[in-house]
C-alpha cells in the first residue's frame, strides 16, 4: 500500500504465511487499497466477530475467509465508485 509516496505493509498480514495472504489478496485484487485495508482490519460477523487474520489464527478455514473476501469485493464493485479505474498497490 502506498501512502504519501511510501510503501507500507499492513500489520494484519504479518501473521499469515505468504500463500494464505496471497490467496485472500487475489480475491480482493479489483479493490482499491483503502477497501482492501478495511477488509483486513474490520471485524466480520461471519468470522465470529474477528478480523480475517485473527480468524485464521483461531482455525477458521481459509476457504471461508476467501469466500468472504470475494463477497466483500463483489459488494464493492457492483455499480460505480469514485475510485473506479484508479491504480492500487496493496496485495498487488
86 to 30, 36, 47, 52, 65: CA distances (angstroms): 10, 14, 30, 25, 26
pLDDT band at 72 (very low <50, low <70, confident <90, very high): very high
Name the pTM for this structure. Answer: 0.78
pLDDT at residue number 3 = 66
| 6 within domain boundaries | no
Domain region containing 49: 17-92
| 8 within domain boundaries | no
| 80 within domain boundaries | yes
| 77 within domain boundaries | yes
The number of distinct structural domains making up the chain is: 1
pLDDT at residue number 79 = 60
| 5 within domain boundaries | no
Report which DSSP code applies to 6.
E
| 2 within domain boundaries | no
| 91 within domain boundaries | yes
Of residues 91 and 58, which shows the higher confidence score? Answer: 58
Amino acid at each position: 500500500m502506498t501512502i504519501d509516496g511510501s510503501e507500507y505493509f499492513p500489520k494484519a498480514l504479518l501473521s499469515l504465511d505468504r500463500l494464505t495472504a496471497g490467496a485472500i489478496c487475489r480475491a480482493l485484487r479489483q479493490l482499491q487499497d483503502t477497501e482492501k485495508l478495511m477488509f483486513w482490519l474490520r471485524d466480520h460477523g461471519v468470522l465470529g466477530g474477528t478480523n480475517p487474520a485473527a480468524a485464521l489464527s483461531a482455525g477458521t478455514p481459509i476457504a471461508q475467509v476467501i469466500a468472504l473476501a470475494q463477497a466483500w469485493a463483489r459488494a464493492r464493485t457492483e455499480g460505480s465508485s469514485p475510485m473506479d479505474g484508479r491504480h492500487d498497490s496493496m496485495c498487488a
